[in-house]
Amino acid sequence: MSNNRAATASTAPVDVPRGLAGVVVTDTALGDVRGLEGFYHYRQYSAVELAQSRGFEDVWYLLVHGELPDAVQGAAFAARTAALRRLPDEVRAALPVIAAATGLSGPLAGLRTALSLLGASSGFRPVYDIGADRRRADTLAVCAAVPTLLTALYRLGQGLEPVEPRDDLPHAANYLYMLTGSEPDAERARAVEQYLISTIDHGFNASTFTARVIASTGADVAACLVGAVGALSGPLHGGAPSRALDTLDAIGGPDRIDSWIRERVLAGDRIMGFGHPVYRTEDPRSRMLRGIARQFGGPLVDFAVEVERQVEAILAELKPGRELHTNVEFYAGVVMELCGLPREMFTPTFAAARVVGWSANILEQAEDPKIIRPAARYVGPVPPVAVPAMA
């Protein structure tokens, strides 16, 4: 990683935009989001094109190894990660207690505790103290286990027994199998796989940055991921797919779109599923997921498309000069609903994909020995002048 930051370091705080918007904090070879162009990529490949042409394991391999696998490499990687899906006995035994304790908070809250236990029971050591191969092995173990953890926590919360993972199913199909107890049809498995691929990574979002800050301290992989999950759980980050679908429910029908949206916009409310802090054009993930939804068809899809059309027109009228389009959450909720995922599993499903991107960022950050330590500008009461100590 570049040492340019060291050259510009200063003892005096530097004013930056709120939320660090647009501030470059490091170099990365993992990918980028080009908001003005409506484009994002993993390594040197369009993320959307990868979602349309590759399987989840191939893209996972790309993030870990820096190149797409050939057929032999891809098969070996898929077999290796499939073998890591089963949980240690200590973790399996604790899941009913975790599920009961988290209750209405849901699987994502339970995942934080389960990840800590998984790291401890697996003997994860600080990334500062281990080599690149061990770091990579730790991330693969966690990424393979997260879908198992999430589906088990969900099922236990519903009074159902967890479903053991299968080694013979691809990553996305196995996830749906563990969630529902039935092997999914190919169309729904592929739709969920494309969604998972499209959300693996997305620049220096809040959860990714959180993971990297923790990694910069040298902490273990599980600790880094617990922090990332905490950041993702916020409704302004990963918590919006189900809320976007709730908006469709609240509107109810095409004849209520205009009045419902106008009332909310004029009241200053945010319309979930619209707008993005980076994109100033259509979110490419939303465009792809809209296409997937239209392949399924049906009343929900028709209604969502009409809501999108009218909301964008109303926002253009009431907020002129601002580019507000659907973001990934809007059609993600539609696609997951069509594929039979319960709404309380929308954000956990996001996490099941994003853990791969977080892990790639942890591995990259672990190569940089510099801890991330920004400054804050003090704006509180003026402290008294320090009194020199007596000689």
Contact 178, 151 (CB under 8 A): yes
Q: Two tokens at 2? A: 């570049």
Dihedral sign (CA 267, 269, 275, 278): positive
Q: Which of 171, 276, 308, 337 is catalytic?
A: 276
Eight-class DSSP state of 326: B
Give φ, ψ of 155 to 5 degrees.
Answer: -65, -40
Give φ, ψ of 87 to 5 degrees.
Answer: -95, 150
- Rounded to whole angstroms, the maximal C-alpha distance in the chain is 83
Q: Any long-range contacts for 211-215 (C-beta under 8 Å, 24+ apart)?
A: 211/358, 211/361, 211/362, 211/365, 212/26, 212/361, 212/362, 212/364, 212/365, 212/372, 213/372, 215/127, 215/361, 215/362, 215/365, 215/366
Angle, helices 132-157/346-365, rounded to nearest 10 degrees: 170
Tell me the Ramachandran region of residue 27: left when phi exceeds 0, alpha when psi lies from -120 to 50, beta otherwise: beta
Contact partners, residue 104, CB within 8 Å, separation at least 6: none
The terminus-to-terminus CA distance of the chain in angstroms comes to: 48
Dihedral sign (CA 103, 196, 43, 80): positive
Q: Two tokens at 179? A: 């969630």
Contact 50, 200 (CB under 8 A): no
Eight-class DSSP state of 274: B
Active site residue 276: yes
Eight-class DSSP state of 23: -
Q: Which of 57, 308, 329, 364 is catalytic?
A: 329
Active site residue 329: yes
Rg (C-alpha) for the chain, rounded Å, is 22
SS3 call for 45: strand
> Nearest-CA neighbor of 278 among 16, 7, 20?
20
Active site residues: 276, 329
